[in-house]
Amino acid sequence: MNTLPYNKISPGCSVILLVTAMLAVGSGMAYAEGTDSSDQPTKAHSDAARQGSASANPSPDDYHTLPPVNVTDRPWTVPGQVNIDTRQPEQPARLTDGASLLKEIPNMSVVRKGQQSGDPVFRGLGGSRLAITANDQFLYGGCGIRMDTPTAYINPQSYDELQVIKGPQTVLKGPGLVAGAVEFIRHPKTYSKPSLDFEAGISAGSFNYYDGFADLSAGNSVAALRTILTASGSDDYEDGSGNKVRSWYKRKSASLNLAVTPTSDLRFELFGDANRSKAKFASLQLDAGKIDRNSFGGKAEIMRITPVVRKITLEAGQSHQDIIMGRQFRGLMAGGNPDRITRNGKASAELNWADANHIIIGADWFSDEHRARRAYTGMPRSKSESSHNLGLFAENTMDLGNGRQWVAGLRHDRTRATAHPGFWNSTLTTPIHTHYNLTAGFSRYEFGLGPWRNYAGLGYTERAPDFWERNRNRDIRPEKSLQLDIGTAYTSERLRINASAFANRIDDYILVETDSPLLNDLAANSFARNIDALRYGFELGAEYVWDRRWKLGGDLAYTWGRNRSDGKPLGQIPPLEGRLRAGYDTEQASLMATLRFAARQSRVAVGQGNVNGVDIGETPGFAVFGIHGHWRFSPAVRLSFGVDNLFNRLYAEHLTKAMQTPEFYNALGINPNAGSNVRINEPGRSLWARIDVKW
């Protein structure tokens, strides 16, 4: 049994870390007041740097394909961060929900239930350990068995950028970032003169798959209006043996964004989003007759106020998720109808302290209300759970010169959670109130050595039990996580190399386990308890370009986890996996081949895991081959195409649910109460093509 020479994360270690962060935050006070310099270019410190202005008559260069998007670390300005253009990912694929795009990131897994509601897991951690936001709004599902994961409400093409922060290396994205943070970002449009932009794409493929979007923007120097419409769907797919997997879905969404810029230093934004979808699942005897979301919000920014005060930002919003889980697709109009309302607000200021320090300080707040009722009955909703969180944060960047900088932050949150008697909690007679005081902090040093860019960071975070965990144990304690992150990146004209690694100790890790791991999530009894856990892992990536058109690259990722309290592997940890890519790639045309592989996973803890799922057994390794490419007909029109799983391989991921449908059990002639450890297989050979236009 692997142990460390102490039983818990010591208070002294936490204090040293937080004092270090405080020194970085306050170090700017030792300098004289700064000059009127522009905002720092770091992504976390400047939104404006990413917002290019559009024009009515763009040049052909505006339509050129972006340089290949690295699904690895971004350049030196943002260590440990992954950024993907949602409409031009490096590995194009069938985009069925937000999780299908996340899966292209090394060490990111997705728990499959069908083609919708994939549950993302980064470095073996998911649920509320991996914060997921859309336009700074937290996304939570309403279903008690996670039939509507946060990514079920996301069509990636209704956003501009996907950003993933690895580990607890920021305090700006809310509390509890044990695994990291995922944000889907939509950039506001700004114009210098009357202009009109239009972009659209339509995909079609095997199993009657389709996915389309239309993005229309118009405005002038004072105001801009942007409308995005999406529609997508698919029939049940077939696995590599030709067996149908219950996974039909339909989804549509609409987004409206208004940006008003009375001056170059003042901007107001209003937005609204509506998502309507329904889906069938292979992991349950229930389907989702409705997965709907309505959200709206606003944001105000005042910039370049004084040489010290560079920006003040105020934002607020509300999101309402509404789901029906039942047997409506089997002719029985019955089921559950939970919903969830999340309200949020945030106020922050960006300050320049002398020439060397840039600090973001602020407060954020959100409230979360979960309700439930029987579906199709007209009965009133009954409040089941509610929570409120108030957080204070400060994150400072100190420029040390010669390509070096020190970034550190502190955060404190007060969380109150309440379980209410009623339909959901039928055994309660009085409300149960729980309070948590949570602290987080990090310190990171970044430096360059010639073409190499390096970083090392230490982060500490405390995470309160979430809705699903509290429902399994009202006395569960918050997690306390200490993580070391290191990374490096090399860039030259022909070669790019990147590497990142982590070592993580979690005290009071919230383990979910069940005594019937083969039963579906609705039938099995599960509970939660605290343990101590240890994790480490890495991501490696490289790409070599010769003759400016031929490319060879790949990546490799691994996570290892151990349940120190029970002396066994930590459940729901993915195996070693990687990709190899090679082919021809220019702005005009490309043809790339990809080999994705995963090793056998024998380090399992059957019946143990987290709110995403529990281990149901070992899995064999696999390798699948695919090809994809594009042809540009003109600066404004591009055709993309591909074949996934070219050789029609039958395989399943380690982190996936088991087959649990009535049709599955009937075909075997067994009682559904017997349970299943037959994993949901991935799609077999699938072809797809896509046309994109832009003017």
Q: What is the pLDDT of residues 562-583, one digit of tens each?
A: 999 999 999 999 999 999 999 9
> Cα–Cα distances in Å, from 566 out to 3, 563, 618?
12, 6, 19
Looking at residue 552, what is its pLDDT? 97
pLDDT digits (tens, 9 = 90+) for 288-297: 999 999 999 9
> Cα–Cα distances in Å, from 604 out to 515, 561, 654, 656, 676?
15, 10, 10, 13, 17
Residue 606 has pLDDT above 90, yes or no: yes
Closest to 143 measured CA to CA, from 331, 281, 5, 333: 281
pLDDT digits (tens, 9 = 90+) for 79-112: 789 999 988 876 667 888 889 899 889 999 999 9
- Rg of the chain in Å (alpha carbons): 25
Residue type at 469 in one-letter notation:
E
Element (H, E) at 308: none
Structure token digits, residue 43? 């992504």
CA separation for the pair 656, 662 (Å, rounded): 18
CA separation for the pair 593, 645 (Å, rounded): 11
pLDDT bracket for residue 447 (50, 70, 90): very high
Looking at residue 92, what is its pLDDT? 65
Contacts of 411 (CB under 8 A, 6+ apart): 171, 175, 391, 392, 393, 394, 439, 440, 441
Residue 362 has pLDDT above 80, yes or no: yes
Poorest-confidence range of 143-152, 246-255, 525-534?
143-152
> Cα–Cα distances in Å, from 165 out to 184, 272, 366, 695?
12, 26, 21, 32
CA separation for the pair 382, 643 (Å, rounded): 48
63: phi then psi, degrees, rounded to nearest 5: -100, 0
Q: Where does residue 558 rank: exposed (0-12), middle (13-18), buried (19+ CB within 10 A)? A: buried
CA separation for the pair 115, 151 (Å, rounded): 11
Residue type at 332 in one-letter notation:
L
Residue with tokens 């070096």, as numbered in its chain: 404
> Cα–Cα distances in Å, from 28 out to 46, 351, 353, 357?
19, 10, 5, 5
Looking at residue 78, what is its pLDDT? 62
Q: Where does residue 347 rank: exposed (0-12), middle (13-18), buried (19+ CB within 10 A)? A: middle
Q: Do the beta carbons of residue 115 and residue 151 sit within 8 Å? A: no
Looking at residue 673, what is its pLDDT? 78
Average pLDDT over residues 189-197: 93
Contacts of 591 (CB under 8 A, 6+ apart): 583, 584, 627, 628, 629
Closest to 623 measured CA to CA, from 654, 656, 645: 645
> Cα–Cα distances in Å, from 659 out to 237, 393, 514?
14, 44, 17
Residue 115 has pLDDT above 60, yes or no: yes
Residue type at 145 in one-letter notation:
I
> Cα–Cα distances in Å, from 417 out to 116, 265, 366, 510?
29, 40, 12, 17
Closest to 689 measured CA to CA, from 249, 92, 69: 92
Average pLDDT over residues 186-213: 94
Element (H, E) at 689: strand 686-694
The dihedral built from the CA positions of residue 162, 137, 171 and 436, taken in this order, carries a sign that is negative
Residue 284 has pLDDT above 70, yes or no: yes
pLDDT bracket for residue 19 (50, 70, 90): very low
Could you give the 3-state DSSP secondary structure of residue 43?
A: helix
CA separation for the pair 557, 102 (Å, rounded): 14
Q: Is 331 left (phi over 0), alpha (psi -120 to 50) or beta?
A: left
Average pLDDT over residues 238-263: 96
In terms of C-beta distances under 8 Å and separation of at least 24 residues, what long-range contacts does 118-122 make, across chains too?
Answer: 118/149, 118/151, 118/152, 119/146, 119/149, 119/151, 119/612, 119/613, 120/149, 120/151, 120/182, 121/572, 121/574, 121/612, 121/655, 122/164, 122/166, 122/179, 122/180, 122/182
The dihedral built from the CA positions of residue 238, 244, 247 and 253, taken in this order, carries a sign that is positive
Looking at residue 323, what is its pLDDT? 94
Structure token digits, residue 334? 């019955």
Looking at residue 66, what is its pLDDT? 33
The number of angstroms, rounded, from the C-alpha of 194 to the middle of its chain's C-alpha atoms is 36
Percent of the chain past pLDDT 70, that is, above it, reads 88
> Cα–Cα distances in Å, from 225 out to 51, 162, 256, 275, 601?
15, 22, 7, 19, 50
Residue with tokens 């929900």, as numbered in its chain: 97
pLDDT bracket for residue 241 (50, 70, 90): very high
Residue type at 19 in one-letter notation:
V
Residue 64 has pLDDT above 70, yes or no: no
Average pLDDT over residues 435-455: 95
The maximal CA–CA distance of the chain, rounded, in angstroms, is 79
Residue 491 has pLDDT above 60, yes or no: yes
Looking at residue 91, what is its pLDDT? 67
pLDDT digits (tens, 9 = 90+) for 116-139: 999 999 999 999 999 999 988 888
Looking at residue 407, what is its pLDDT? 97
pLDDT digits (tens, 9 = 90+) for 322-356: 999 998 898 888 889 999 999 999 999 999 988 89
Poorest-confidence range of 281-290, 474-483, 645-654?
281-290
Poorest-confidence range of 38-52, 183-197, 648-662?
38-52
pLDDT bracket for residue 25 (50, 70, 90): very low
In eight-state DSSP terms, residue 379 is P
Residue 47 has pLDDT above 80, yes or no: no
Rounded to 10 degrees, the C-alpha dihedral 374/469/655/661 comes to: -20
pLDDT digits (tens, 9 = 90+) for 545-557: 999 999 999 999 9
Q: What angle do CA 301, 307, 309 make, to 5 degrees?
A: 40
Mean pLDDT across the chain: 88
Looking at residue 38, what is its pLDDT? 36
CA separation for the pair 368, 300 (Å, rounded): 23
CA separation for the pair 518, 513 (Å, rounded): 12
Q: Where does residue 478 rank: exposed (0-12), middle (13-18), buried (19+ CB within 10 A)? A: buried
Query: 60-64, 532-536, 544-548: which has the highest mean pLDDT?
Result: 532-536
Q: What angle do CA 342, 254, 312 make, to 5 degrees?
A: 55
> Cα–Cα distances in Å, from 584 out to 70, 312, 367, 405, 592?
16, 46, 50, 38, 6
Average pLDDT over residues 669-673: 80
Residue 55 has pLDDT above 80, yes or no: no
Residue 307 has pLDDT above 60, yes or no: yes
Looking at residue 56, what is its pLDDT? 35
pLDDT digits (tens, 9 = 90+) for 611-641: 999 999 999 999 999 999 999 999 999 999 9
Average pLDDT over residues 407-430: 94
